């Protein structure tokens, strides 16, 4: 009897052990249900490790950001003849397409073309319409280029001789004139200026009182009997009525 009871207890213990381990099917069911914390933890962790890792991807797409392409007629421009502090260089402008030339000053520069007659108005070239033909560089042998309104002072012809009338206005109106430089061939001898006077402005040049009043008349007959006097914050050859 005791032996039978012991055998029965052994059988029960064996059955309980089998139930605790369970079959493979029961174990898979529990882990897939999320009870096992390690269930499905290896979810393709390397699936996209190379996604967008190419360091060269479009890294140069904006390397030239802010730099404009070569200009055509009427476009702003810059080249090495202008300072690196020029506004157009700071704003990323470059030189012009052929046949245009980059012409300007320390404040502005434009892609333009040569012209021939001072004061003429452009009516044909795209981008340069209504620009005027102006004189630049050497006053005794000037280069001529089409210029915008902001530079039209250079389009006023320099035709006034010493003692003759002139205009102080800087806008080209089509009939006004500036004073002609005094030249020896292509070389500048003396610059001139338009002296404001009543009733008429006149062209003149600077003088030194130490040279005496006769120097002015010696340099130009227009100042015969004139003098070297103060006007325009300097000393200039004056017509007799102003002496």
Model pLDDT for residues 57-97, shown as the tens digit of each residue: 444 433 344 689 999 999 999 999 999 999 999 999 999 99
CB atoms within 10 A of CB 127: 17
Average pLDDT, the chain: 80
Residue 225 has pLDDT above 90, yes or no: yes
Residue 125 has pLDDT above 80, yes or no: yes
**Least confident window among 37-51, 141-155, 198-212:** 37-51
Strands 132-136 and 109-112: unpaired
**Partners of 134 in the beta sheet?**
145
Tell me how far apart the alpha carbons of residues 187 and 218 are, in angstroms, rounded to a whole number.
20
The pLDDT value recorded for residue 25 is 35
Tell me how far apart the alpha carbons of residues 32 and 28 are, in angstroms, rounded to a whole number.
6
pTM for the full predicted model:
0.70
The pLDDT value recorded for residue 28 is 24
């Amino acid at each position: 009897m005791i032996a039978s009871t012991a055998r029965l207890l052994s059988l029960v213990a064996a059955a309980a052990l089998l139930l605790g381990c369970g079959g493979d099917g029961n174990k898979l069911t529990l882990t897939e249900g999320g009870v096992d914390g390690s269930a499905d933890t290896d979810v393709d962790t390397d699936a996209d490790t190379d996604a967008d890792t190419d360091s060269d991807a479009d890294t140069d797409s904006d390397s030239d950001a802010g730099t404009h392409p070569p200009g055509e007629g009427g476009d702003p421009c810059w080249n090495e003849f202008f300072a690196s502090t020029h506004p157009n260089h700071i704003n990323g402008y470059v030189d012009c397409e052929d046949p245009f030339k980059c012409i300007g000053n320390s404040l502005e520069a434009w892609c333009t073309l040569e012209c021939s007659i001072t004061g003429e108005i452009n009516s044909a070239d795209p981008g340069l319409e209504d620009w005027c033909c102006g004189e630049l560089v050497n006053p005794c042998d000037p280069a001529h280029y089409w210029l915008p309104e902001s530079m039209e002072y250079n389009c006023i012809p320099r035709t006034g001789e010493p003692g003759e009338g002139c205009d102080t206005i800087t806008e080209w109106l089509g009939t006004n004139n500036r004073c002609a430089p005094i030249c020896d061939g292509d070389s500048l001898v003396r610059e001139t200026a338009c002296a404001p006077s009543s009733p008429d402005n006149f062209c003149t040049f600077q003088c030194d009182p130490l040279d005496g009043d006769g120097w002015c008349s010696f340099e130009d007959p227009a100042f015969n009997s004139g003098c070297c006097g103060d006007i325009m914050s300097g000393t200039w050859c004056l017509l007799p009525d102003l002496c």
